[in-house]
Amino acid sequence: TTAAGQETTGGAASGELIVLGFSQVGAESGWRAANTKSIQDTLTKENGFDLKFSDAQQKQENQITALRGYIAQGVDVIAFSPVVETGWDAVLQEAKDAGIPVILTDRAIDSEDDTLYESFIGSDFVLEGKMAGDWVKEQYDGQGYKIVELQGTTGSAPAIDRQTGFAEAIEGTDLEIIASQTGNFTRTEGKTVMEGFLQAHDKIDLVYAHNDDMGLGAIEAIEAAGLVPGEDIKIVTIDAVKDGMQALADGKINYIVECNPLLGPDLAELAKKVVAGEEVEKRIVVKDLAFDQEAAKEALPTRQY
Ligand code: AHR
């Protein structure tokens, strides 16, 4: 047992720190960096937490190892943002058997057993995709646009849901997705995939990227091909992190749907409740905005991430 403010290895009686094991997806994007910062800045000793943090480098097996480590250490609560949707039942059952509550942040899991976690806090990714698609439809329906899609990590909730939402929104229009490939949510792969798209297709009117970073990579590929991003090829992305918003304000991106990464404060509150045995909501939906070029110019000076 330790006094408040000191390192502790378990137990959450009053005055002790809550030991929270967090398994992060990786460091793939600007969004992820802002999300990690929010969690590390909030789950501090001053705020009652002893945070154990690990980075899975976008690999599910690393995350499972991290979760097993937290179970073995007997942490008070586990939180994680699952790299992919499926394949979690066994390890989450182990946490449940050990009496360790689990909170999902940012990304959902696909499981029939919703007793394996206490709560899921994060954005509605289908809605984000739909907001992006609705804007594209409003702007370009009737012009026969050929669209290429840069998908997020294969099997991840945001990649699956953002594809679904966008496809639903443009259904029944003359807008057509002519190619769709994963860029793994990174700038480098976004650029490489876009280079391939540009080589394979004579006519590309619009890029729909599942995050800003892949859109920023696509900008590099488009410019290298001697074309003007935002004009010759329109670009729509999701996240609204600083670099994305700057490119939007500069006219290189045309529209961005936000995905708020600042989940630290809500996670802290949830974790305190869960450890205290209080009832919590099973699903907490984070609200997102959307920006066109003018709105980005206005928002940029006061943007937190
Ligand atoms: O899960 C959220 C997504 O993961 C973000 O939109 C993307 O940038 C990140 O890599």
Tell me: the pLDDT tens digits for 195-217? Answer: 999 999 999 999 999 999 999 99
User: Residue holding tokens 């045995």?
Assistant: 277
pLDDT tens figures, 51-103: 999 999 999 999 999 999 999 999 999 999 999 999 999 999 999 999 999 99
Is 80 close to ligand 1, i.e. is its CB under 6 Å away? no
Size of the chain, expressed as the number of residues it contains: 305
ipTM, 2 decimals?
Answer: 0.99
For ligand 1, pick from 23, 28, 32 the residue to mutate: most ligand atoms within 8 Å of CB: 32
Is 29 close to ligand 1, i.e. is its CB under 6 Å away? yes
For residue 177, count CB atoms less than 10 angstroms from its CB and return exposed for 0-12, middle for 13-18, buried for 19 or more.
Answer: middle
Is 239 close to ligand 1, i.e. is its CB under 6 Å away? yes
**What whole-number distance in Å separates Cα of residue 72 and Cα of residue 8?**
15
**Threshold 0.90, pTM exceeds:** yes
**What whole-number distance in Å separates Cα of residue 151 and Cα of residue 237?**
11
- Along the chain (305 residues), what's the average pLDDT of each consecutive run of 10 residues? 38 73 98 98 98 98 98 98 98 98 98 97 98 98 98 98 98 98 98 98 98 98 98 98 98 98 98 97 97 97 91
Beta bridge partners of 97: none
Amino acid at 148: V
Distance 105 CA to ligand 1 centre (A): 12
Helix, strand, or coil (residue 145): coil
Distance 25 CA to ligand 1 centre (A): 9
